[in-house]
Amino acid sequence: MSDTILEITPLAPLLLRDGRPFAGGGEESRAHSLPLPLPHTLAGFVRTQMGEGRGLKWRDLSDDALHRELQALHNTPIRALPLRDETFMFPAPLNAVVEKPQAKKPEEADEVRIYRALPAELQEGEGTDAPDGLSPLLLTDGDGNAPGEAFKPDGGYVYWPQEAMQTWLLGGIPERLEQISGPPTDERTHVAMNSETGTGDEGKLFTVNYRAFEQRRERTYHRWTLRVKTDLTGDVAPLGHLGGERRPVALRDCGNRGQWPNLSTFGELKAALENPGNTRLCFVLTSPALFAGGWKPGWLSRTPQQARAHDGAGLPAGVRELMAGGARLVGAAVGRRVPVSGWSVRENRPKAVRWAVPAGSVYFLEVPGAFDREKLLGAWLKPLSDDQDDQRDGFGCALWGVW
């Protein structure tokens, strides 16, 4: 079974609810949309299209047959990344802080000053009350110097292109950075409908913030798509519905030659990760992660002896070898938690809310011992969540780098 790349193209603005209360025509009269679908939403869509492509007749299957088919689809791993104009986009690392310019000339629109937050090396007699003995993160510029004076951080740098992420993961500072906030918001106002008469309910208006995957301005045009990497057997249905209001999307099978940001496309990064002299490693989440320790991966609590004794079953790719080398968490840049919920078709009720670590969160490790670095390279853009089901859904995919 080989990896296959699928391309998802929304044919209309999508409504990807963010979990805030909403009742059309009620007190909460505005529905907000996430920039991109959460991993389990996208995984459910892709698996449904796989089932449709196999010609499954959901209503005709017996309970046992349906369970077997659903289990087979559920075991299919899904990993996804967004593209803008055929360029892979990654969540901005949360240890990056962009200085808000006081005055900007038009010709300097892309020139920004970026600071990197790194774990501080405490001197004798210094200490903090950070959990687990973690070091605080301090800002430095490209030369390792702290900011000379206080400044206001600039917003809007939500997604970074591959070239900027490549520089960042090698410990450098991108020279240029564009403000990219994801697919633009498409705000529309609707009127609530009276279920008895089938007409508009006078005075009851509500607003929905959709996400449009096409953006046209005076002289620019940007198109957003999603690329999915999976183990595919058989065909997929080319048309389906994603998110709220069953908005149409197209699905195309690109085969095993579809574009995907493999480690080999990140220049010198592969050599840096293979170098035994680089004992300071980090990973940046490209999708929200669900960890046993809340903000902290449960596998980071293992000792080297426990890691060596473990057969690796259930552990994320590359983790067993990493922990066997004595990997220790020394710092983390973690954003505000993300609610993850949904609807249970089997139980016909809402699923309990779980809290995920947001994409872009950065974890800094020190690995003093030797370990199989080739195994670590196998963890590239693979999920680091603790639970196997969450791994298959694509929660906690990550890029690796040095610091």
* Per-residue confidence (pLDDT) for residue 105, from 0 to 100: 54
* Per-residue confidence (pLDDT) for residue 10, from 0 to 100: 96
* Per-residue confidence (pLDDT) for residue 310, from 0 to 100: 65
Per-residue confidence band for 202, with pLDDT thresholds at 50, 70 and 90: confident
C-alpha distances (whole Å) from 6 to each of 15, 47, 64, 256 are 21, 12, 30, 9
DSSP letter (8 states) at residue 33: B
* Inside any domain, residue 176: no
Q: 257, 280, 306: which is the final residue of a domain?
A: 257
Per-residue confidence band for 110, with pLDDT thresholds at 50, 70 and 90: low
* Inside any domain, residue 175: no
Q: Is this model's pTM higher than 0.95 or not?
A: no
* 270 shares a domain with 345: yes
Q: Of residues 81 and 152, which shows the higher confidence score?
A: 81
Mean pLDDT of 369-396: 94
Q: Between vectors from CA 365 to CA 362 and to CA 371, what angle results, nearest 5°?
A: 130
Report pLDDT digits (tens) over 305-359: 877 776 666 688 888 889 989 999 999 999 999 999 887 777 888 889 999 999 9
* Per-residue confidence (pLDDT) for residue 242, from 0 to 100: 95
* Per-residue confidence (pLDDT) for residue 311, from 0 to 100: 63
Contacts of 217 (CB under 8 A, 6+ apart): none
* Inside any domain, residue 332: yes
Mean pLDDT of 120-130: 83
* Inside any domain, residue 174: no
Picking from 136-145, 250-259, 351-360, 389-398, which range would have the lowest pLDDT averaged per residue?
250-259
* Per-residue confidence (pLDDT) for residue 262, from 0 to 100: 92
3-class secondary-structure state, position 40: helix
* Per-residue confidence (pLDDT) for residue 313, from 0 to 100: 63
* Per-residue confidence (pLDDT) for residue 56, from 0 to 100: 86
CB 344 within 8 A of CB 284: no
Percent of the chain whose pLDDT exceeds 90: 59
Pick the closest to residue 287 from 146, 381, 374 (CA basis): 381
How many domains is the chain partitioned into structurally? 3
* Per-residue confidence (pLDDT) for residue 28, from 0 to 100: 62
Single-letter amino acid, residue 287: S
Q: Of residues 1 and 30, which shows the higher confidence score?
A: 30
* Inside any domain, residue 163: yes
* 242 shares a domain with 208: yes
Q: Of residues 51 and 19, which shows the higher confidence score?
A: 51
* Per-residue confidence (pLDDT) for residue 103, from 0 to 100: 58
Q: 207, 237, 257: which is the final residue of a domain?
A: 257
* 340 shares a domain with 300: yes
* Inside any domain, residue 177: no
Q: What's the full length of the chain, in residues? A: 403
Report pLDDT digits (tens) over 52-95: 998 888 777 777 887 788 888 989 999 999 999 999 999 999 99
Per-residue confidence band for 27, with pLDDT thresholds at 50, 70 and 90: low
CA distance 375 to 320: 9
Contacts of 196 (CB under 8 A, 6+ apart): none
* Per-residue confidence (pLDDT) for residue 58, from 0 to 100: 78
CB 381 within 8 A of CB 397: yes
* Per-residue confidence (pLDDT) for residue 23, from 0 to 100: 61
* 202 shares a domain with 77: yes
Contacts of 263 (CB under 8 A, 6+ apart): 269, 270, 273, 377, 380
* Per-residue confidence (pLDDT) for residue 111, from 0 to 100: 67
Decide if pLDDT at 150 tops 80.
yes
* 321 shares a domain with 265: yes
Neighbouring-strand partners of residue 189: 207
* 295 shares a domain with 360: yes
Single-letter amino acid, residue 58: W
Q: What is the CA radius of gyration of the chain?
A: 23
DSSP letter (8 states) at residue 203: E
Q: Among 14-23, 144-153, 262-271, which range has the highest average pLDDT?
A: 262-271
Q: 206, 233, 257: which is the final residue of a domain?
A: 257
* 164 shares a domain with 36: no
Mean predicted lDDT score pLDDT of the chain: 88
Mean pLDDT of 253-277: 89
* Per-residue confidence (pLDDT) for residue 130, from 0 to 100: 83
* Per-residue confidence (pLDDT) for residue 72, from 0 to 100: 87
* 229 shares a domain with 314: no
Per-residue confidence band for 24, with pLDDT thresholds at 50, 70 and 90: low
What is the extent of the structural domain holding 61?
Answer: 3-86+182-257
* Per-residue confidence (pLDDT) for residue 281, from 0 to 100: 97
* 398 shares a domain with 275: yes
* Inside any domain, residue 58: yes
* Per-residue confidence (pLDDT) for residue 18, from 0 to 100: 82
Report pLDDT digits (tens) over 233-259: 788 999 999 998 899 999 999 887 668
* 162 shares a domain with 298: no
Picking from 143-157, 208-222, 311-325, which range would have the lowest pLDDT averaged per residue?
311-325
- CATH number, position 308: 2.60.40.4350
Mean pLDDT of 166-191: 92
What does 342-377 look like in DSSP terms, one character per residue? -EETTTTEEPPPEEEBPTT-EEEEE--S---HHHHH
* 297 shares a domain with 252: no
CA–chain centroid gap for 261, Å, is: 14
* 373 shares a domain with 275: yes
Mean pLDDT of 98-112: 66
Mean pLDDT of 353-382: 95
* Inside any domain, residue 333: yes
